[in-house]
Structure 1
Amino acid sequence: MDGSAATATERPPAGAGVARVRRSLAAVDLAALTDRERLELVTELERLKGAACALQARAVEEVRASQTRDGSQGARRGLRSQDARRSLGSQVALARRESPVLGDRFVGLSHVLVHEMPATMRALEQGLVGERHVLEVVRETATLSREHRAVVDERVAPLLPRLGWRSAGRAAQRVAAELDAAGVVRRMERAVASRRVTVRPAPDGMAYLTVLGPLRDVVGAQAALQVHARAVAGGRCADEAADGRAAGAVAADTALRLLSGRARGTVTPVEVQLVMTDRALLGTGDPLRSPMEPGRVPGHGPVPAPVGRAWVRAAGAGAVWVRRLYTAPGGRDLVAMDSRRRGFSGLLRRLLVLRDDVCSTPWCDAAIVHADHTHPVRAGGPTSLANGAGRCARCNQVKEAPGWRVHVVRGSPLELELVDPTGRRHRSQAPPLLGWGSDPPPGTSALESHLAALLDAA
């Protein structure tokens, strides 16, 4: 064996030293430090985070170069450049334990920092700034040429240590507008095509409805809402009473009423899937379960039992449909359900969405768009709940790229193993029926035992 081969064999894993440093942090005796020393430690740890981000960026850029050069596995398999980028972004997302969209973003950030913005990269390596600072600078220079981006790097990087991340982004934006005003205008024009409406959960049973649109239109709509809301709250609106609401609450009620197309006091004509136990909703069923056990709105999180019951009461008779969901013994998982159809549709698709809640790729958390066959139909995979997985569009496409594999590790609770092109393995598990944090009581009810017996007999 030659020397180089021996060195490659004996070389410890690259992350071993970093892992030792990470473990040593838990051994720091904070009780022996003064407050000044503790705050100095916080400062150094913050600098360490920046330096770690810079090392991540260099590592990701090396992976990108390795997987896109002519002799790479993807090139040998004829993988398109777009598919290769998507595959790489998903691999990085799994490594950083974040969504694929954020993985894509970090791949692009790494390439720019390593090759186009050396001064900003040095500030990150030295821990003078954090990841959010450099992300804002890179984002605001996205439309610039490499030469103009270098000018921004030279002028803005020395300012970064004294700026917050928002100010860093505005500084880069200002220099970019000076260097390439036409490019900034084109970017603003293209951004109009990305206008959309999104929703995301908020604490305490609330949610954010976000409208992304042209600045003047959004500001105008908000101003009109505020004028109306202040008039109602001040008692100056003849056709609507404040009823104790502040101006902010009136504005929110008005916007939701107009967007849903309903008159005041009517029920929203859409379906909201609220999953609750019969004990929590009706007070009947298994006496071992708590009547205060929270419910769940798939894709949005838990709902306290009193709130769920209030929603049902407020909807009124004829506006609520109750569908029974049968669980396996223990109450954790939905009972398996088969279909002869090739596509997941109807109740089977609804059952799959209720089970998985969000995309089944680890750390993705995006809304389910596709009902996917874990074992493909072309390879004999059945259209069944056990072989189904809820995925976002991005993760469903990436799964079909060369080097990616997914298989079912366990059926109940459903556990999937995702293998990326480098051989790294990542596991995900379907949440309990009522969401993560719910804890079904031990033992089984007579109904569950009877259902288990029927399933075994089938």
Structure 2
Amino acid sequence: MQARDTTALHTAAATQSPEPGKKRDTGVRGTGTQIALARSETPAEGTRHLTGSRILCADLPRTMARFTTGTLSENRAMLIATEVQDLGQEHRGWADEQLTLNPEDFAGESRKALGDRVRALVQEIEPVTALERIDDARSRRFLRLIPTGNMTMRLIGQNPAEHGVLMHQVLSDLADSKTAAGKGQGRTREQIRADEFCGLVTGEQNISPRVEIELVMTDRILFQAEAEPAYLQGYGTIPAAMARQLVRGRDMELKLMRWIRRTGALDLDPRPDLRDPGLPEPGAAH
């Protein structure tokens, strides 16, 4: 009911005549704030609810039906709507149909797994749009320290996924080695990770443990430009084109050796024109 009422409120605001001296979309932008007040949320959360509600009501009838009957929670319904928002209207309908072919798949599925499943569909339907979204998000990377009182500061940021996976591995390996060597000094694992991070950034820590980015893809994605999404361990599904960029090293600041580990027989077209000249020959160790 809230989703339908939210959509109706937006429609009413959009059709109202603007006050003298104001643009028509001024009232529309304020609808998210009104929703936030009604739901006791922040303005950003109210706007997200407005966007998700409009997509559910207009373009995802099957998902909306499951939401209405209670077989899909608001959290999950809004997650689906958010992930498909950059698709065209006709493609949203197709994604809606695919996601409801086997409703039992939702049972026991985590929110992250559901998000990965929807993103994989989106990346396969419109790979170019998916890459544009990724490029935009990566361009907004940042790192910020915010005073929080009691002589502490909070570190927040947004980084490319492959960098985040590497940092997570480094800190986890350092914490594990300190604990195993009995050098934890009564600290929790998270405290050790925080201390080691500070040491690496300030130069007090000069140990660089060996780490891997585990990128799982088929040989067709790697050598034949297939659009099927790949999977980045520790993050989730990523577009095939982005996976190939990570393998080539394009636009990566970290210069790393790439090792390709085969887990099955490669089924490759032997024609050389199908291979990217920047990638290793089939069967190469690295």
TM (norm. structure 1) is 0.39
Aligned counterparts of 1:166 and 1:81: Cα–Cα separation in 2:
38
- Structure-2 residue corresponding to 1:254: 196
Contact 1:176/1:184 (<8 A) preserved: yes
CA distance in 2, matches of 1:78, 1:160: 50
Does residue 174 in structure 1 map to residue 120 in structure 2? yes
Letter in 1 for 2:137: A
State the Cα distance separating 1:130 from its structure 2 match: 0.9
Q: Residue in 1 aligned with 2:76?
A: 133
Q: What's the CA shift string for 1:222-275, capped at 9, x where partnerless?
A: 222233333333449xxxx5423354422111224556x5979xxxxxxxxxxx
CA 67–102 in structure 1, closer or farther in 2 if over 3 Å, else same: same
Cα distance change on mapping 1:226 and 1:169 into 2, 3 Å: closer
The structure-2 alpha-carbon separation of the partners of 1:206 and 1:156, relative to structure 1 and needing over 3 Å to count, comes to: farther
Give the letter for the 1:128 counterpart: T
Is contact 2:63–2:77 with CA below 8 Å preserved after alignment? yes
CA–CA distance in 2 between the matches of 1:82 and 1:199? 36
> Residues 157 and 189 (structure 1 numbering): CA distance in 2 closer, same or farther, change over 3 Å?
same
* Shift in CA distance, 262/83, structure 1 to aligned 2, threshold 3 Å: farther
Give, in whole Å, the separation in 2 of the partners of 1:219 and 1:87: 38
**SS of structure 2 residue aligned to 1:133:** helix
Structure exhibiting the larger radius of gyration computed from Cα positions: 1
User: How high is the TM-score relative to the length of structure 2?
Assistant: 0.60
Amino acid at match of 1:255: F
Q: SS of the residue aligned with 1:211?
A: strand
Task: Check conservation: 1:129, 1:160, Cα contact below 8 A.
Answer: no
Query: What displacement does 1:160 show?
Result: 4.5
Q: Distance in 2 between matches of 1:122 and 1:199?
A: 44
Kept after mapping to 1: 8 A contact 2:53/2:78: no
**What's the counterpart of residue 90 of structure 2?**
147
Amino acid at match of 2:42: S
- Name the one with the larger helix percent: 2
Counterpart for residue 185 of structure 2: 243
Q: Does 1:86 align with 2:29?
A: yes
1:201 Cα deviation from its structure 2 partner: 12
Q: Deviations over 1:380-421 (max 9, x none)?
A: xxxxxxxxxxxxxxxxxxxxxxxxxxxxxxxxxxxxxxxxxx
Choose the corresponding residue for 1:216, options 162, 169, 172: 162
For 1:65 and 1:137, how far apart are their aligned partners in 2? 22
Report how far residue 137 of structure 1 moved: 1.0
Gaps of 5+ in 2: 206-286
Matches within 5 A, 1:42-441: 55-69=1-15, 72-73=16-17, 75-80=18-23, 83-160=26-103, 162-163=105-106, 164=109, 165-197=111-143, 209-235=155-181, 242-256=184-198, 261=202
| Identity across matched positions, percent | 22
How many Å apart are 1:196 and its aligned residue? 3.4
Change (3 A) 1:81 1:173: farther
Q: Tell me, in whole angstroms, the C-alpha distance in 2 between the residues paired with 1:200 and 1:161.
A: 44
- Do 1:196 and 1:211's aligned partners in 2 also have CA atoms closer than 8 Å? yes
